[in-house]
Amino acid sequence: MIRVEHVDKHYGAAKVLQNIHFEVESGTCLGIIGPNGSGKSTLLQCISGVEPASAGEIVIRKQLLSQYSRKSLSQHLAVLQQETLPPVGYSVQEVLEMGRFPFQNWLGRDQTDASSLIAGVAEQLNLVELLDRPLHELSGGQRQRVALGKVMVQQPEILLLDEPTTYLDIRYQLQFMDYVRKWQRDCGLTIIAVLHDLNLAAQYCDQLLVLHEGKQVAIGEPAEILSRERVHEVFGTEPIIIPHPVNGTPQILLQPGSHETLGNEAK
């Protein structure tokens, strides 16, 4: 579904990404993890076509990314960032309708009647009672559900998520990721997600790609990737890693002061 072939990204002399290469199979979820400044969001921007790669190629659905027009690409791929909703003043209904833009003609008319699709998405995400509410009256969790509904209405085959749970509390983080996983399983959605929370990444991603200082460190299943040695190496802290008591995925416990210990060891 997606192939990234030896991609570099430079801004002048600054090398933000170097020789990134991986494939994402249809219907799977790849999580991109790494410290701040490791190039995670830049990589997502390259895959979405917002930023051109300085070297290498990106192939989506057996076609070079550079061969897609913006509108044709948006008929297959959607992006959900931390804050992608329009300014205040729009209602939830209007925001959901915006998700149909890639399928509208030059007169702004949808090629098909999407009213039932929009109503179905609103019902799935428990937004029916909020359809007439303006965005500024919504909580953070409600706003993120609206943002998810907007991309669901777009009916993409590929979804790119850039730290979508950053500003949400624990309940809404889990709710959001559960909605995404259900959508993935029901529709065979392919997902690439930048995530800061390593425990969330382990729970919801089929594979993890680790970036550090713009370079690809490793890619594989969470149980393989989230080892004590690798977390130590990449994040500079000494974790305790235990299996989740329900599903066995690795979960990370942090040790206060462990970064100070590492600093002392380096002297």
> pTM of the entire structure?
0.91
Residue keyed to tokens 């802290």: 237
Q: What angle do CA 244, 145, 226 make, to 5 degrees?
A: 25
Q: Which residues pair with 209 in a beta bridge?
A: 32, 219
Q: Give domain 1-76+156-222's CATH number out of 3.40.920.10, 3.40.50.300, 3.90.1150.10, 3.40.630.30.
A: 3.40.50.300
Q: Which residues pair with 211 in a beta bridge?
A: 216
Burial of 237 (C-beta count, 10 Å sphere; 0-12/13-18/19+) = middle
Does 264 have pLDDT greater than 70? no
Token pair belonging to 218: 């490793």
Token pair belonging to 171: 């309940």
Predicted confidence at residue 228, as pLDDT, reads: 93
Characterize the bridge pairing of strands 190-194 and 2-11: unpaired
pLDDT tens per residue across span 68-105: 998 899 999 999 986 667 666 799 999 999 999 888 77
CB proximity list for 57: less than 8 A, separation 6 or greater: 3, 5, 6, 7, 64, 65
Give the count of alpha carbons within 13 A of 35, CB side only. Answer: 14
Predicted confidence at residue 108, as pLDDT, reads: 65
Q: For residue 133, which of 177, 92, 105, 174 has the smallest C-alpha distance? A: 92
Q: For residue 204, which of 241, 232, 170, 173 has the smallest C-alpha distance? A: 173
Asked if 190 and 28 count as a contact pair (C-beta separation under 8 A), the reply is: yes
Predicted confidence at residue 11, as pLDDT, reads: 93
Burial of 51 (C-beta count, 10 Å sphere; 0-12/13-18/19+) = middle
Q: What angle do CA 214, 202, 216 make, to 5 degrees?
A: 15
Question: What residue segments make up the domains of the chain, in order of their start?
Answer: 1-76+156-222, 89-154
Q: What would the mean pLDDT of 219-243 be, rounded to a whole number?
A: 94
pLDDT tens per residue across span 112-153: 788 999 999 999 999 999 999 999 898 888 988 999 999 999
Does 263 have pLDDT greater than 80? no
Give the count of alpha carbons within 13 A of 42, CB side only. Answer: 24
